[in-house]
């Protein structure tokens, strides 16, 4: 129980105790002027009725404000959820883009590494081809020495 609720309960209890202690005075009829007519009524009961009406209106107003606050809270929660989902989707798409970029870069680097590996292989093959041609040339020279001249 919070302090505000306790204060309201104590105030209502004090009002009820005051009315109980002074009940004969509360129900004694008195001449009341309403502005347009004069009536005989117990002033204490009229005032208790007015206080009860004010308390009732205050409670209705409090409930109305509480309903409005709860509605605003729900709307804010829905908007927050929507924004969170949008942020999650944006983050996921950024991760997908990053993964695609990394994959592309890795493929490019693999291609460069493959090209670097191809260079020495081509050089080796070229050297083997030259060696083979030189060996063939020397065999041809030995087989047909007169054809070369």
| Residue whose structure tokens are 């990053």 | 98
The band of 149, judged by pLDDT with boundaries at 50, 70 and 90, is low
Q: 29-68, pLDDT tens digit by residue?
A: 989 888 898 999 998 888 888 988 998 999 899 999 999 9
pLDDT of residue 108: 83
Residue 149 lies in a domain: no
Look at residue 93 and tell me if it is in a domain: yes
Pairing mode, strands 29-33 and 38-42: antiparallel
Domain that holds residue 74: 3-143
> Under a CB-based contact definition with an 8 Å cutoff, are residues 30 and 42 in contact?
yes
- Looking at the structure of the chain, the number of domains it has is 1
Distance CA 49, CA 55 (A): 10
Q: Is residue 148 domain-resident?
A: no
Higher pLDDT, 117 or 90: 90
With b for 16 or more beta-carbon neighbours within 10 A and e for fewer, the 43-68 pattern comes to: ebeeebeeeeeeeeeeeeeeeeeeee
pTM exceeds 0.75, yes or no: no
Q: Measured between alpha carbons, how far is 75 from 85 in angstroms, rounded to an integer?
A: 15
The answer as to whether 99 is a domain residue is yes
For residue 15, name the pLDDT band (cuts at 50, 70, 90): confident
Exposed/middle/buried for 103, CB within 10 Å: 0-12, 13-18, 19+?
A: exposed
Cβ contacts of 105-113, under 8 Å, gap ≥ 24: none
């Amino acid at each position: 129980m919070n302090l505000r609720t306790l204060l309201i309960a104590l105030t209502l209890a004090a009002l009820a105790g005051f009315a109980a202690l002074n009940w004969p005075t509360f129900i004694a009829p008195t001449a009341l002027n309403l502005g347009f007519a004069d009536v005989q009524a117990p002033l204490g009961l009229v005032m208790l009725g007015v206080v009860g009406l004010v308390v009732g209106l205050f409670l209705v107003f409090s409930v109305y404000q509480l309903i409005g606050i709860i509605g605003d809270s729900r709307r804010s929660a829905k908007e927050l959820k929507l924004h969170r989902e949008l942020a999650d989707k944006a983050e996921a798409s950024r991760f997908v883009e990053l993964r695609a970029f990394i994959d592309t870069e890795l493929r490019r680097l693999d291609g460069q590494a493959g090209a670097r590996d191809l260079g020495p292989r081509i050089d080796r093959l070229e050297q083997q081809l030259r060696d083979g041609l030189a060996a063939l040339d020397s065999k041809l020279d030995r087989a047909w020495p007169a054809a070369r001249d």
